[in-house]
Amino acid sequence: MTTAPSAPLREEVLAGAAPYTSRILSTYDTWVLGFVCPVVWGCPRDEMLRQYNRSAGARHLDLGPGTGWFLERATFPTLTPELVLADLNEGVLRRAGGRVAHLRPRLVKRDVLQPLDLGEDTRFDSAALNMLLHCLPGRMSHKLTVLDQVRPYMAPGGRIFGSTVLAKGVRHGRLAPRALENLNKDDGPLNNLDDSLEDLEAGIADRFDDYRIAVRGSIALFDITVG
Ligand SMILES: C[S@@+](CC[C@H](N)C(=O)[O-])C[C@H]1O[C@@H](n2cnc3c(N)ncnc32)[C@H](O)[C@@H]1O
In 3D space, the residue among 134, 124, 33 whose CA is nearest the CA of residue 86 turns out to be 124
DSSP state of 168: B
Residues in the chain: 227
Q: What is the pTM of this model?
A: 0.94
Of ligand 1's listed atoms, the one at least distance from the Cα of 112 is: 20
User: Which H helix or E strand runs over 210?
Assistant: strand 210-216
User: Which H helix or E strand runs over 161?
Assistant: strand 154-165
Ligand 1: residues with CB < 6 A are: 13, 16-17, 20, 33, 64-66, 69-70, 87-89, 92, 110-113, 130-132, 135-136
**Confidence check: pLDDT of 72 > 60:** yes
Q: Tell me what the mean pLDDT of segment 9-33 comes to.
A: 86
- To test the pocket of ligand 1, the residue of 6, 29, 46, 132 to mutate (highest count of ligand atoms within 8 Å of its CB) is 132
Q: Tell me what the mean pLDDT of segment 140-147 comes to.
A: 97
Return d(Cα 105, Cα 76) in angstroms, integer.
Answer: 14
Judged by average pLDDT, the poorest of 12-21, 64-73, 148-157 is 12-21
**Per-residue pLDDT reduced to its tens digit, 87-114:** 999 999 999 999 999 999 999 999 999 9
Report the share of the chain in percent with pLDDT over 70: 97
Counting Cβ atoms within 10 Å, is residue 182 exposed (0-12), middle (13-18) or buried (19+)?
A: exposed
Q: Tell me what the mean pLDDT of segment 161-187 comes to.
A: 96
Residue 183 main-chain phi, psi, to 5 deg: -75, -15
Return d(Cα 227, Cα 126) in angstroms, integer.
Answer: 13
Distance 103 CA to ligand 1 centre (A): 21
Across the chain, mean pLDDT equals: 95
In 3D space, the residue among 180, 193, 225 whose CA is nearest the CA of residue 57 turns out to be 225
Q: Tell me what the mean pLDDT of segment 179-197 comes to.
A: 94
